[in-house]
Amino acid sequence: MECGILSGSRQATRCGEVIVLNCLALNASFEPLTIVPARRAVRLVLDGKAEVIEEDDARRFRSERRVVPVPTVIRLVRYVHVPHRFRRQVTNTFLFARDDYTCQYCGRHRSELRGRQFLTRDHIIPVSRGGGNSWENVVTSCSSCNNRKGNRLPREAGLGLRCTPTEPNYVHLVWVVRRVTDPQAKYIRLFYGDDALDAVTPSPVEPAQSSSQA
């Protein structure tokens, strides 16, 4: 069944089911860049800024003048340089994913946290003691371990790290929290290989209750 999509809508409804339509955007070099709403992908194609590589024949964007297949993969016509600083930005979303949503001190997964406990960001060397917000100085911590550590070094609080924190590679950084379809996964495999694809398709986990920074 084809889905009618009204102008301005970001979702399609089919038989009562909400379908989120997303599209993988490739750089001109075929490097996977990001996931964009399918409606935005159509606009890039219509503006001549991208070309359709894969499309969903079962769904269509409809307007008063034309019917357009929903793109699932597009490729930018011109190469876009991705700034180094953007690639290296530390966010809780990617930090928790890097650490597999597990406290790096006690080893509990967020699904094992109870009550008001939650995952948070911890600076191994506290900011007040000269620590920076780099990948090598931040880890995922449960709120209990974070409170126990406070403004101290791990060893001063009787805590030990489960592993040495490092900066994740670019593929992991961008895709580990993304859900990609089989056609989209094909281009991640094409550009980065099977190992990278395995790294960015983790087992589903339940949403965290909340997060904060230490």
The yes/no answer on whether domain 88-157 falls in CATH 3.90.1170.50 is: no
Burial zone of 29 (CB within 10 Å; 0-12 exposed, 13-18 middle, 19+ buried): exposed
State the alpha helices, DSSP H only, in 141-193. 143-149, 170-175, 182-192
Nearest in space to 103 (alpha carbons), one of 145, 137, 136:
145
Q: Are 165 and 139 in contact (CB under 8 A)?
A: yes
Burial zone of 170 (CB within 10 Å; 0-12 exposed, 13-18 middle, 19+ buried): middle
- For 103, other C-beta atoms within 10 Å of its C-beta total 25
Does the global pTM surpass 0.85? no
119's CB contacts (< 8 A; 6+ apart) are 92, 96, 101, 103, 110, 113, 140, 141, 142, 143, 208, 211
What is the tens place of the pLDDT at every residue in 161-211?
Answer: 999 998 876 555 555 556 677 788 788 778 777 766 665 554 444 444 444
Query: So what's the pLDDT on residue 64?
Result: 75
Strands 119-123 and 22-26: unpaired
State the alpha helices, DSSP H only, in 28-169. 38-46, 84-87, 92-98, 143-149
- In the structure encoding, which two tokens stand for residue 166, read together? 């490092």
Query: So what's the pLDDT on residue 62?
Result: 80
What is the DSSP code (8-state) at residue 10? S
Residues of the chain with CATH 1.10.30.50: 88-157
What is the tens place of the pLDDT at every residue in 68-120?
Answer: 889 999 999 999 887 654 455 688 888 888 898 999 999 999 999 998 999 99
Residue 147 predicted with pLDDT over 50:
yes
- In the structure encoding, which two tokens stand for residue 2, read together? 């084809």
